[in-house]
Structure 1
């Protein structure tokens, strides 16, 4: 969308809605409160505007809204004053929502547009397209701009989702990484000011934490499958498709509700759509399945792709495929220890940090908890597949999650002794720090020549839980429950 000259007028329908909210909030009933409102607005805006006393109450409110509409930051200031005078009311939230929905040309004054336009004109660095895509993450199709000046002006026309930075502010922050030091400092100072004015300082900090591009250039497609909370025997499939290695979390895709027999087909459709979106990139892709405990038995790594060319093939032929724990991701109380272990694993993913569970570990209560509390252990191999529901005081999987171990491995059919031998063999043949890719490699090797495969083809069904806490999904506080045996933890909900 091309830039428009000047501030777009605020239509009469929006202004009427703003006035209606003020009337419902009681400002038409009391002249003294209207007088106080005008006084607070003068102070907030440093503007000596007046409202004629002879006007009727509603007419005075119309005059106040119209006056604020013509002043830079006028309506946001009016929203602040309303919250000051009627704190916590429904009308405050309604008024703020209306103000936030207005065209964002008001975010960028004409003087600022011209100042940055002159500096950014003709500037089209390699990261321009990615910066626009990240800034306009909810805009479909993604707008195309010839240079950074065109993008800065065009993105000012788009609104943001609640709690997110306006696209033009996010773009200023992102494109600063491509600019010289002086211009970068100016852009960051401006974005800081806008974020503070819009009370989005936290959103800006989160964006800055993910500005540095990923060194690997790896993309992730994260697919979450969970039982439908209302209908039995139905499942919800959600996904987050990463189009830029530097962006996390990416926007959440459409949620699909399906039945158990259709799960594989619906997942294949999600993957096919992602591949179409990635058609112009050569990046490596990792598939992640976020699963609740009750669905850990799904053989997602061997599910098939869509039948685009001949017969379908298992996912692991194309992608490193891992699972992640929905319960752990949803439970904030478990994240500190999880982050500590992941940081250690990232530095030293060695075989010496792998603990092989033994059946005697669960004979005494908390014995395995005590063993895994040693921060030496960063990966564990279970003696069997986790049962769909926790086993009180005898649960290897629960103990591993509670201890924060980010890598958990098991096999659904063979003995624990065989799994130990297989993991030992894997460690001898490659880097455990890249276990998903290593597992895929040996699955393919086994298919090439099963008779000569050193591990006898058993690796084909090895389950790898690979949980990176730096790539959380926005599931909300409390999520679907904690890492534990019963319901959501009340302290998590309260936080």
Structure 2
């Protein structure tokens, strides 16, 4: 008995409630190489809530070694009042890293809070993002195109499987990823090289705009890896960070049983690059309202 205008408000209110329930905060931590001091990095951090503007939490001018990263993350998570009092309980940790650090097992970093040591990857979804791609505007067209397709077709994502190093030449792989709009994910059963002539796979995926790239850091049987990763995709590609969080928690429980040391959850790197949400320095400034 509702009038037509009132009936149209019902699904709109329902959708608004779903979006509010799914709201998420993002702690974005960026490491940039310091040209003057090898093996030291300049760290910056932002807090973003969904598509809102990011709030810069720190911008360090002093380069620090990589082993200082756990202390930095603990300080942000437990002491920064903006993070502690964030508007949403759901928090994703995103590490924006240069290409040579993308394989760093940041999900396995350990922090100790009030005497309890734990790994980052079992408390929050932890993903890595490409600093090189963010900085190079020429890569953004393909990246945005792929991300839009993924966002509109989360259950139709196609995976480009790479089972061994050198299986494809860089140009061939780049062309394959560009040719199929649905090829939004590349999965490797081995850790990619980030320098030299054998580094083509990862660079081709980033330049072709694939928003999702994943691999096993210690190498894995290709058939087993494909089977395990397909299970993660069951809920849709957009839910991969949460699916990988569940896998990492499962891996920790398996450590008390047989085979826990070879569980994929201990060795999976997930590049999950949201082209719609960039840290503030990479957002094109608009004219004042």
When structure 1 is superposed on structure 2, of 227-236 and 383-392 the one drifting more is 383-392
Equivalent pair of 2:189/2:219 in contact (CA under 8 Å): no
Equivalent pair of 2:28/2:46 in contact (CA under 8 Å): yes
Match 2:139 to one of 307, 310, 334? 334
Give the structure 2 partner of residue 372 of structure 1. 177
CA distance in 1 between partners of 2:216 and 2:24 (Å): 27
Equivalent pair of 1:286/1:319 in contact (CA under 8 Å): yes
Give the structure 2 partner of residue 216 of structure 1. 22
Secondary structure, aligned partner of 1:312: strand
Give the structure 2 partner of residue 320 of structure 1. 125
In the TM superposition, residue 292 of structure 1 has moved relative to its aligned partner by 0.1
Is 2:42 aligned against 1:236?
A: yes
CA distance in 2 between partners of 1:476 and 1:433 (Å): 23
Equivalent pair of 2:23/2:88 in contact (CA under 8 Å): no
CA distance in 1 between partners of 2:71 and 2:36 (Å): 22
Equivalent pair of 1:221/1:287 in contact (CA under 8 Å): yes
Match 2:33 to one of 220, 223, 227? 227
CA distance in 2 between partners of 1:443 and 1:380 (Å): 20
In the TM superposition, residue 276 of structure 1 has moved relative to its aligned partner by 6.4
- Structure 1 residues 231 and 419: alpha-carbon distance in aligned structure 2, compared to 1, 3 A threshold: same
CA distance in 1 between partners of 2:33 and 2:241 (Å): 26
CA distance in 1 between partners of 2:197 and 2:86 (Å): 48
Runs of 4+ in 1 over 4 A off after TM superposition: 360-365, 452-456
Question: What TM-score results when the alignment is normalised by the length of structure 2?
Answer: 0.79
Is 2:179 aligned against 1:344?
A: no
Equivalent pair of 2:24/2:91 in contact (CA under 8 Å): yes
Is 2:275 aligned against 1:469?
A: yes
When structure 1 is superposed on structure 2, of 309-318 and 272-281 the one drifting more is 272-281
Is 2:208 aligned against 1:403?
A: yes
Equivalent pair of 1:422/1:459 in contact (CA under 8 Å): no
Q: How does 1:353-372 map to 2 (within 5 A)?
A: 353-359=158-164, 362-364=167-169, 366-372=171-177
In the TM superposition, residue 278 of structure 1 has moved relative to its aligned partner by 2.6
Secondary structure, aligned partner of 1:313: strand
Match 2:70 to one of 264, 267, 271? 264
Give the structure 2 partner of residue 155 of structure 1. none
CA distance in 2 between partners of 1:321 and 1:404 (Å): 21
Secondary structure, aligned partner of 1:463: strand
Secondary structure, aligned partner of 1:346: helix
Give the structure 1 partner of residue 239 of structure 2. 434
Equivalent pair of 1:290/1:324 in contact (CA under 8 Å): yes
CA distance in 2 between partners of 1:427 and 1:454 (Å): 22
Match 2:59 to one of 241, 245, 254? 254
In the TM superposition, residue 351 of structure 1 has moved relative to its aligned partner by 6.2
| RMSD after superposition | 2.8
Question: What TM-score results when the alignment is normalised by the length of structure 1?
Answer: 0.48
Secondary structure, aligned partner of 1:253: strand
In the TM superposition, residue 474 of structure 1 has moved relative to its aligned partner by 3.6
CA distance in 2 between partners of 1:230 and 1:221 (Å): 27
For residues 426-474 of structure 1, the C-alpha deviation after alignment (integer angstroms, 9 at most, x for no partner) is: 234x333210111111211232245488996222220000000111124
CA distance in 1 between partners of 2:192 and 2:269 (Å): 11
Equivalent pair of 2:77/2:83 in contact (CA under 8 Å): no
Q: Which has the higher helix share?
A: 1
For residues 55-106 of structure 1, the C-alpha deviation after alignment (integer angstroms, 9 at most, x for no partner) is: xxxxxxxxxxxxxxxxxxxxxxxxxxxxxxxxxxxxxxxxxxxxxxxxxxxx
Secondary structure, aligned partner of 2:79: helix
For residues 318-358 of structure 1, the C-alpha deviation after alignment (integer angstroms, 9 at most, x for no partner) is: 10000000000001011111111111111222365111124
Q: How does 1:125-144 map to 2 (within 5 A)?
A: none
For residues 104-156 of structure 1, the C-alpha deviation after alignment (integer angstroms, 9 at most, x for no partner) is: xxxxxxxxxxxxxxxxxxxxxxxxxxxxxxxxxxxxxxxxxxxxxxxxxxxxx
Match 2:188 to one of 382, 385, 394? 382
CA distance in 2 between partners of 1:360 and 1:312 (Å): 36
CA distance in 1 between partners of 2:117 and 2:183 (Å): 39
Secondary structure, aligned partner of 2:183: coil
In the TM superposition, residue 369 of structure 1 has moved relative to its aligned partner by 1.8
Q: How many residues align?
A: 261
In the TM superposition, residue 419 of structure 1 has moved relative to its aligned partner by 2.1
Secondary structure, aligned partner of 1:378: strand
**Where do 5+ consecutive residues of structure 1 fail to align?**
1-212, 478-495
Secondary structure, aligned partner of 1:298: coil
